[in-house]
């Protein structure tokens, strides 16, 4: 193939892969710094004075919607995080609503080593450092808690890595499942949770947790209350896709398996599990029945059950993804492009079948998480994390945003439209 033909082909791929939606995401909320709904002004002043609350160290990361609550997580990357699991009321008229700890202030208050007491949690409903959550069809909130405070600094282990499950109707704890230590490796970093459940059979639920640091999916059975570790070559990062430039910050990451999306549940309980590594531009797939079979999924016999679907194109590295029941489309972040992408699952997984829902160097600088709710709304949180984490930058304008839009409208004019 001649150089000119190769160049022309690349241009075609890039152009097609940037076909924009006719409808952009709308900004719902924005914050310069996160403010909380404190129990009292005295408590706020005390926490400020003791450095238990350092406003600029509270970076929102994960998002989930259930009824009128929009859950937003704040991992304890740095000291001074007031509450790691929070929500804002969607009926709020303020464009910068205050965060309300969930399920309570007490459940977000932990014993830190700096408090002069032994580090640890005060009860099973305590949450330490939450990255992402998932509300399931049975009105339960599944919380992936790393258990670590000051992750970017002293790495204080407050509690073991755990799944904490709440009843959203009563705000009461259902279960705390501590991930067995033999399922976690030295480089393990669990940062995402996806729940596979039939609303008519709530006990037979499975959670899939992506271990991006040690390249595995940890499968948890709610009915059996046990977990197992699934390994595969496809969970590793692509060495050709580990270079990022976001907000003027250049960095290299080796993050593996991260995004996991589940398509429609068939009558026999089978559905496809789509997945990709963060530092990769490829998409893969496996049946949920493979993951749910402990003996099979943990054996070499299951290797060929995992399939390569295709390639998204250059600079399409993605953290999370989610399937929309209404449109049959998977939405995903594109952090290197400050954008949200989409793919219609009825079409082959090729670069020219990828659409771009929206792209904005300010409003979508580092889209960190997204969810699709049961009403067909896409929710996106952007937080400029590379500047904050790697360069210690706090900009004077709004740093954190929640954007939203109807999925059916967002795909119009893109290859994702039916």
Q: Is the per-residue pLDDT at 186 higher than 50? A: yes
Position 159 scores a pLDDT of 94
pLDDT at res. 119: 62
Q: Which candidate, 303, 301, 268, 306, places its Cα nearest to that of 287?
A: 306
Q: How far apart are CA 183 and CA 285, in angstroms?
A: 22
123-159 pLDDT tens trace: 899 999 999 999 999 999 999 999 999 999 999 999 9
Does 149 reside within a domain?
yes
How sure is the predictor about 352, in pLDDT bands with cuts at 50, 70 and 90?
very high
Answer left, alpha or beta for residue 288, where phi above 0 means left and psi between -120 and 50 means alpha: alpha
Read off the pLDDT band of 197 (50, 70, 90): very high
Residue 409 sits at the vertex; the CA angle it makes with 347 and 405, to the nearest 5 degrees, is: 115
Kindly report the average pLDDT of the chain as a whole number.
93
User: What does the pLDDT look like over 61-80, one tens digit per residue?
Assistant: 999 999 999 999 999 999 99
| Number of domains present in the structure of the chain | 1
Would the pLDDT of 15 be above 60? Answer: no
* Inside any domain, residue 418: no
Q: What is the pLDDT of residue 339?
A: 98
Residue range 225-245: mean pLDDT, rounded: 98
Provide the domain limits for residue 91.
16-410
Average pLDDT over residues 92-103: 96
Say what the pLDDT of residue 302 is. 98
CB 377 within 8 A of CB 405: yes
Residue 268 is part of a domain; what is its CATH number?
Answer: 2.120.10.30
Domain membership of residue 389 (yes or no) is: yes
| pLDDT confidence of residue 267 | 86
Can you tell me the mean pLDDT for 222-239? 98
**pTM of the prediction?**
0.93
Q: Which pLDDT value is given to residue 395?
A: 77
Assigned domain for 7 exists: no
Query: Considering only CA atoms, which of 200, 122, 184, 105 is closest in space to residue 158?
Result: 122
Domain assignment present for 347: yes
Is 415 a member of any domain?
A: no
Question: Is there a domain that residue 111 lies in?
Answer: yes
Residue 356, domain member (yes or no): yes
């Amino acid at each position: 193939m001649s150089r000119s033909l190769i160049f022309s082909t690349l241009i075609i791929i890039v152009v097609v892969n940037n076909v924009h939606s006719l409808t952009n995401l709308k900004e719902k909320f924005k914050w310069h710094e996160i403010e909380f709904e404190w129990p009292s002004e005295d408590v706020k002043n005390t926490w400020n004075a003791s450095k238990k609350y350092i406003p600029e160290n509270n970076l929102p990361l994960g998002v989930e919607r259930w009824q009128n609550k929009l859950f937003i997580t704040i991992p304890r990357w740095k000291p001074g995080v007031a509450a790691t699991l929070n929500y804002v009321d969607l009926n709020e008229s303020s464009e910068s609503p205050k965060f309300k700890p969930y399920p309570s202030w007490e459940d977000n208050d932990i014993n830190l080593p700096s408090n002069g007491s032994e580090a640890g949690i005060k009860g099973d409903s305590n949450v330490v450092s939450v990255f992402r959550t998932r509300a399931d069809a049975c009105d339960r909130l599944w919380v992936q808690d790393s258990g670590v405070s000051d992750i970017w600094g002293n790495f204080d282990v407050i509690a073991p890595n755990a799944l904490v499950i709440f009843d959203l109707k009563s705000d009461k704890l259902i279960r705390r499942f501590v991930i067995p230590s033999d399922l976690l490796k030295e480089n393990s970093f669990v940062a995402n949770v996806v729940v596979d459940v039939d609303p008519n059979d709530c006990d037979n639920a499975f959670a899939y947790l992506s271990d991006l640091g040690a390249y595995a999916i940890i499968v948890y059975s709610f009915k059996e209350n046990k977990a197992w570790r699934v390994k595969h070559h496809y969970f590793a990062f692509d060495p050709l896709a580990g270079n990022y430039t976001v907000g003027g910050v250049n960095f290299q990451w080796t993050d593996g398996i991260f995004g996991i999306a589940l398509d429609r549940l068939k009558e026999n309980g089978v559905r496809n599990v789509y997945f990709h590594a963060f530092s990769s531009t490829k998409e893969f797939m496996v049946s949920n029945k493979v993951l749910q079979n402990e003996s099979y999924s943990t054996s070499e016999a299951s290797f060929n059950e995992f399939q390569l679907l295709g390639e998204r194109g250059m600079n399409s590295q993605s953290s999370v993804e989610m399937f929309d029941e209404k449109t049959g489309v998977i939405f995903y972040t594109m952090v290197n492009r400050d954008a949200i992408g989409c793919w219609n699952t009825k079409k082959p997984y090729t670069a020219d079948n990828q659409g771009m829902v929206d792209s904005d160097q300010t409003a979508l600088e580092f889209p960190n998480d997204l969810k699709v709710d049961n009403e067909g709304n896409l929710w996106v949180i952007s937080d400029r994390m590379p500047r904050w984490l790697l360069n210690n930058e706090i900009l004077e304008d709004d740093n954190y945003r929640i954007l939203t839009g109807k999925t059916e409208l967002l795909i119009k004019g893109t290859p994702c439209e039916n």
